[in-house]
Every structure is written in C-alpha cells, then in structure tokens.
Amino acid sequence: MPIPRSDPTPRPEVIVDFALDDGLLTIHLRNIGTGSAYLVRTAFDKPFYGIDGTKCISDMRVFRKVEFMPPGKEFVQFIDTLRNYTKRKQPMRVVATISYQDQRGNRFEDRIGHDLRIYLELGQAKVVRKKPQGD
C-alpha cells in the first residue's frame, strides 16, 4: 500500500527489504510510493547466493533493471532457508542502492542497509493445530 504524503505530487519510493517467514528468507523489491517508478536499478555492495548456493540473487534481472513499477508493485524472490543461508556463510549485512526516476524524469537514489542477523535472534514459533477428533 502506498505511503500517503503531504506533497500532492505523486512520487515513487522503491525499497528493497528482506523477510523471514517460517524459516524461509525472501527479498522484496517494492514501490511503496504514490507515483510510478521508471528505470529501477538495484546495486548490492556484495553478491549473495540463494537456493542452496546455486543462484546469484544479487545479480538477477529484476535487480539490474525494471522498466516500470506502478505504486504498490512488488517483486518477491525466495532466497533460501535462513539455516542454509547462514550455513553457507552468505553475507549477513547487505546494502542495497536503488536508483529510479519518476514520470517527469526526476531521479532518485536511496541506500538501504540490512542486518540479517536480527532474524537469528528473533526465532520462529510455529502454531500446530490439532484436528478435532470425531466420534
């Protein structure tokens, strides 16, 4: 959902974020702004690999160039289980630099740092529901 702003001019705001759900680590490229983003490019300070080390996530086409991202558009990529990712000694601190422009050609660049070690401290609780027993 786009973030409301006091400025009435629609402005894109593209972010890169990581998420952990039930032990599965994912990366998200999302336009949280109110305007469309064009020529979106993401550069990472270091390469990182997922899917048992077989896929260079940081070099995927979605991070090299996305022509158009309307408000609310999101790309999600599974990286790996957090356990496998850390076992392979992949970077736990990642900096993403995202550059893009709006419809008028105004250029934007944001630098977002992530410390994935926070997920190691959070832990995960899984709810297991028992089925009711019938007569």
Q: What is the mean pLDDT of each run of 10 residues along the chain (135 residues)?
A: 64 98 96 98 98 95 98 98 96 98 97 96 61 63
Please give the pLDDT value at position 127: 45
Domains along the chain with CATH numbers: 14-121 (2.60.40)
Please give the pLDDT value at position 131: 66
CA–CA distance, 117 with 93 (Å, rounded to integer): 8
Please give the pLDDT value at position 135: 53
Please say whether the beta carbons of 92 and 82 come within 8 A: no
Q: Which residues contact 67 (CB under 8 A, 6 or more apart)?
A: 38, 39, 40
Please give the pLDDT value at position 92: 97
Residue with tokens 């900096």: 95
Instruction: For 69, list phi and psi in degrees, rounded to 5.
Output: -135, 105
- The model carries a pTM of 0.84
Helix (H) and strand (E) counts in the chain: 3, 9
